[in-house]
Amino acid sequence: MSINTFFQHLSNGLALGSLYALIAIGYTMVYGILRLINFAHGEIFMISTYVVFYGVSIFYLPWWVSIIVAIVITGLLGIIVERAAYRPLRNSPRISVMISAIGASFLIQNLAIVIFGGRPKSFPIPDYFNTVIQVQGVSVPIVNFFIPVITLVALVILIYIIEKTKTGMAMRAVSRDYETARLMGISVDNIVSITFGLGSLMAAIGGVMWGLKYPNLIPLIGLMPGLKAFIAAVIGGIGNIKGAVLGGFLLGMTEIMIIASLPNVTGYRDAFAFILLIGILIYKPSGLLGQDIGEKV
């Protein structure tokens, strides 16, 4: 493997990894605060890409307006899913909520097949994003520069919200104990809604970035990225936002490097991700950055 090829692989892995990280942030944040694995995260992600598609192709909105619309609609969808599928079960055993989450995921997926149709659609990409930059013989599509930057900015903003704002303090309080938080005058329902809104917003941003990189839209598009983001979140320590970013980068890089160095096993690409998940769950269930339970947010 020449140096050029190696750096090309590194660049590819970085781009894929940061995309996983971006989706994983929202996933892990919702878990950190509500102790709920939101399986519908991937579907919310999928809806955002379709909103952009229809915004541009049917309503002739400028590209950036469709993105804002997509982020708003997706945020609202997250809040609606929480109200309809999770809130009624807040005092039920955790397994019921998880099953409800899987149900919500299937419902949205199949509604999407009925409403959007099964034929693939092409995500609208402004010409600017089709530019490819050559750096020392390594080809980098311009969107690959955006994704890590957006991921890191999102990380910083979320950490700021959670650690420095009053809402963030309330979120942390809710994550410890609903009842006590309520006794302290925190509106638990509102905080949960805000958490879901934020998480879905992150899913929407992830969706838009995914669409720019992989413009092939089908109603099942959220399935694999959703699972990969879940794996990334578990690797980093589920509930830990920094861990999710680390996990995302690690997962993306591992996938690319395994395929790059062992071309004969590419058929098992997704299997490696799940083997990694099983390995982490057996040997380090709290994840790489997840030891400090007290700080888990």
Q: According to CB under 8 A, which residues from 7 to 66 bind another protein?
A: 8-9, 12-13, 15-16
Work out whether 5 is an interface residue with another protein (CB under 8 A): yes
Work out whether 260 is an interface residue with another protein (CB under 8 A): yes
Instruction: Work out how close the CB of 68 gets to another protein at its nearest, in angstroms, rounded to a whole number.
Output: 22
Q: What secondary structure does DSSP assign to the chain, as a single string?
A: --HHHHHHHHHHHHHHHHHHHHHHHHHHHHHHHH----TTHHHHHHHHHHHHHHHHHTS---HHHHHHHHHHHHHHHHHHHIIIIIGGGTTS-HHHHHHHHHHHHHHHHHHHHHHH-SS-EE----GGGG-EEEETTEEEETHHHHHHHHHHHHHHHHHHHHHHSHHHHHHHHHHH-HHHHHHTT--HHHHHHHHHHHHHHHHHHHHHHHHHH--EE-TTTTHHHHHHHHHHHHHH-TT-HHHHHHHHHHHHHHHHHHHHH-GGGGGGHHHHHHHHHHHHHHH-TT-TT---GGG--
Instruction: Work out how close the CB of 98 gets to another protein at its nearest, in angstroms, rounded to a whole number.
Output: 19
Instruction: Work out how close the CB of 64 gets to another protein at its nearest, in angstroms, rounded to a whole number.
Output: 20
- x/- contact string, 172-211, with another protein (CB under 8 A)? ----------------------------------------
Work out whether 103 is an interface residue with another protein (CB under 8 A): no
Q: Which of 35, 94, 103, 139 binds another protein (CB under 8 A)?
A: 139
> Among residues 96 and 291, whose Cβ is nearest to another protein?
96
Work out whether 135 is an interface residue with another protein (CB under 8 A): no
> Among residues 206 and 219, whose Cβ is nearest to another protein?
219
Instruction: Work out how close the CB of 8 gets to another protein at its nearest, in angstroms, rounded to a whole number.
Output: 5
Binding residues for another protein, per CB under 8 A? 1-2, 4-5, 8-9, 12-13, 15-16, 80, 83-84, 87-88, 111, 113-115, 117-122, 125, 130, 132, 134, 139, 141, 214-216, 218-220, 224, 255-257, 259-260, 263, 266-267, 269-270
